Amino acid sequence: MKNSTQPTSPKKIICDIFGHKYEVTKDVTFHVKEYTCKCCKRQLTTNGNGSLTELTPKFKEINATLARIYTNKLERMKASRFNSSAA
């Protein structure tokens, strides 16, 4: 049986030694955010428990739906404030 080794990129080695340098790339809601490592471009998101997890296609779809719902809610709240202050 052959063991294949993939070449490790220098940026991944830096993250393995010193740790990742995550930056927020997208605010989905007030509590849910998407993060990307500056060095190795690893993507994470906040899961239902509040901990970080890999940003899989399933989580991308969940975050997109959650962002749409959150945006619609904020728009409704702005409209109701405007209507109540205008009366």
Per-residue pLDDT reduced to its tens digit, 2-58: 565 656 677 788 888 999 999 999 999 999 999 999 999 999 999 989 999 999 999
Q: How many helices (H) and strands (E) does the chain have?
A: 2, 4
Q: What is the pTM of this model?
A: 0.76
Determine the Cα–Cα distance for residues 2 and 77; give it in Å rounded to an integer.
61
Report the Cα 29 to chain-centroid distance in Å: 10
Note the pLDDT of residue 51.
93
H helices of 4-56, where?
10-18
Determine the Cα–Cα distance for residues 33 and 24; give it in Å rounded to an integer.
7
